[in-house]
């Protein structure tokens, strides 16, 4: 979403580059070491042939399959950026407590419609959310749109209104199928069990709520729309031809 699908996120702060990982929008992103592992394996077979951008995109595709989604054909040939866009991150990626109109406009700016945006947020069906991003709905008073019993569970997971960002304090997005990318997310938010403010806004906003109800009823429809939106993301403004480069190390621009 930040300018291009070009692996700019992977660059570390070094040699005049300021990493996008320093942005608050990148909070919680981790395990880049697996991209490095894949890159080393690919470089040993085909030196400077497969970009880090392609590795990230294809990993998203395969992660979708491993989490129970369908396999989708994805183009390759992306090239890697020679720069970081740290100053653009906050203007490109919506925050969890932004208004729904702002969230929709951010996605629309790269060609993803409301239906696709609702589907992509279904990624909140897996993984977990750090307490830092939940406590604003729990303290000093509980958000009235939260299911009271679920709020009590969240308060047990996040007992302090000021959690340590570096501590392992989190709640799972989905308690029933936490590592399956299914349509439980939509069922949960219809039951007022969404963790983030943006999750609850999907239900209350008249533009997005019809899609939420349809995805809650039909997992196949959700998977189809998620696949479509994931493809659009993967093809956002790619660097091709002589633009960019194929990095030798995903963490650094070639010297």
Residue ranges of the annotated binding site for heme b are 124
CA distance linking residue 91 with residue 196, whole number of Å: 20
Q: State phi, psi for 95 to the nearest 5 degrees.
A: -90, 165
Q: State phi, psi for 96 to the nearest 5 degrees.
A: -70, -15
List, as residue ranges, the binding site for substrate: 94
List, as residue ranges, the binding site: 2, 6, 8, 20, 94, 124, 174, 177, 182
List, as residue ranges, the binding site for Ca(2+): 2, 6, 8, 20, 174, 177, 182
CA distance linking residue 214 with residue 210, whole number of Å: 6
> Encoding tokens for residue 230?
């994931």
> Encoding tokens for residue 211?
């899609």
Q: How many CB atoms lie within 10 A of CB 147?
A: 15
Helical residues (DSSP H) of the chain, grouped into ranges: 33-45, 52-66, 89-92, 100-108, 114-120, 148-157, 184-190, 197-204, 209-217, 219-234
CA distance linking residue 31 with residue 25, whole number of Å: 16
């Amino acid at each position: 979403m930040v300018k291009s699908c070009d692996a700019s996120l992977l660059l570390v702060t070094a040699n005049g580059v300021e990493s996008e990982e320093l942005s608050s929008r990148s909070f919680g992103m981790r395990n880049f070491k697996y991209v490095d592992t894949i890159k080393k394996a690919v470089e040993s077979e085909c030196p400077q042939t497969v970009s880090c951008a392609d590795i990230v995109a294809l990993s998203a595709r395969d992660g979708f399959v491993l989490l129970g989604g369908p396999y989708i054909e994805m183009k390759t040939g992306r090239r890697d950026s020679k720069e970081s866009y740290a100053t653009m991150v906050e203007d490109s990626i919506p925050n969890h407590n932004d208004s729904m109109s702002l969230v929709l406009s951010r996605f629309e700016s790269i060609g993803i419609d409301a239906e696709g945006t609702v589907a992509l947020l279904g990624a909140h069906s897996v993984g977990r959310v750090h307490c830092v991003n939940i406590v604003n709905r729990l303290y000093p008073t509980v958000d009235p749109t939260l299911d009271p019993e679920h709020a009590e569970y969240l308060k047990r997971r996040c007992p302090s209104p000021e959690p340590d960002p570096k501590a392992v304090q989190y709640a799972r997005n989905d308690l029933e199928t936490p590592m399956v990318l299914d349509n439980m997310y939509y069922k949960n938010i219809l039951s007022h069990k969404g963790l983030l403010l943006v999750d609850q806004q999907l239900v209350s906003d008249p533009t997005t709520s019809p899609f939420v109800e349809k995805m809650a009823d039909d997992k196949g429809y959700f998977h189809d729309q998620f696949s479509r939106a994931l493809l659009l993301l993967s093809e956002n403004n790619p660097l091709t031809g002589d633009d960019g480069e194929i990095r030798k190390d995903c963490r650094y621009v070639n010297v």
